[in-house]
Amino acid sequence: MPSSFALKSMNAVHHTVLRLTGGRFGWTAGNMPVLELTTTGRKSGQPRSVLLTSPWQDGETMAIIASAGGNDAHPAWYLNLEATSAVTVRTSNETRPMIARLATGEEREKIWAETVKRYKGYSGYQARTDRVIPVVVLEPAR
């Protein structure tokens, strides 16, 4: 399982690729769209940004998976969302405010099933941990 340091390092490299290429490279990973999620730090109150893949989209709605590579602890960005659901999402072509919410029940099962069918790595992440990996739905703020 990747350490917190490894995950942060990979994110820093990914940000660097985006910056150095002027966004020409880095908006996809593993055939999935990439987004930059900016949350509000639950302790600091400061903006915190992380690049994540979005394995599921439906129109303007998209999902992100709080897998942390199968670690036993939820990623920090997910903990920030538990405290404040208002986020900013930047994609290759726009930046917009969105609201994050936890998918539950049938909705979670549907998104999870479609995700692991298309991107097998997520089932491996779930096998590495006893926690149920959260599926977070991002919807445009109205």
Q: What is the pTM of this model?
A: 0.84
In Å, what is the CA distance from 47 to each residue of 73, 78, 90, 131?
21, 14, 14, 27
d(Cα 126, Cα 132) in Å, to the nearest integer? 7
d(Cα 63, Cα 128) in Å, to the nearest integer? 21
In Å, what is the CA distance from 118 to each residue of 20, 31, 111?
30, 10, 11
- pLDDT mean across residues, the chain: 87
Cβ count near 63 (within 10 Å)? 21
Give residue 24's pLDDT: 60
Q: With pLDDT > 70 as the criterion, what percentage of the chain qualifies? A: 80
Q: How confident is the model at residue 107 (pLDDT cuts 50, 70, 90)?
A: very high
Q: How confident is the model at residue 20 (pLDDT cuts 50, 70, 90)?
A: low
Place of tokens 């509000």: 40
**Domains in the chain and their CATH numbers?**
4-140 (2.30.110.10)
Give residue 15's pLDDT: 56
Q: Give the CA-trace dihedral at 46, 79, 33, 135, to 10 degrees.
A: -150
**Looking at the predicted structure, is the pLDDT value of residue 128 above 70?**
yes
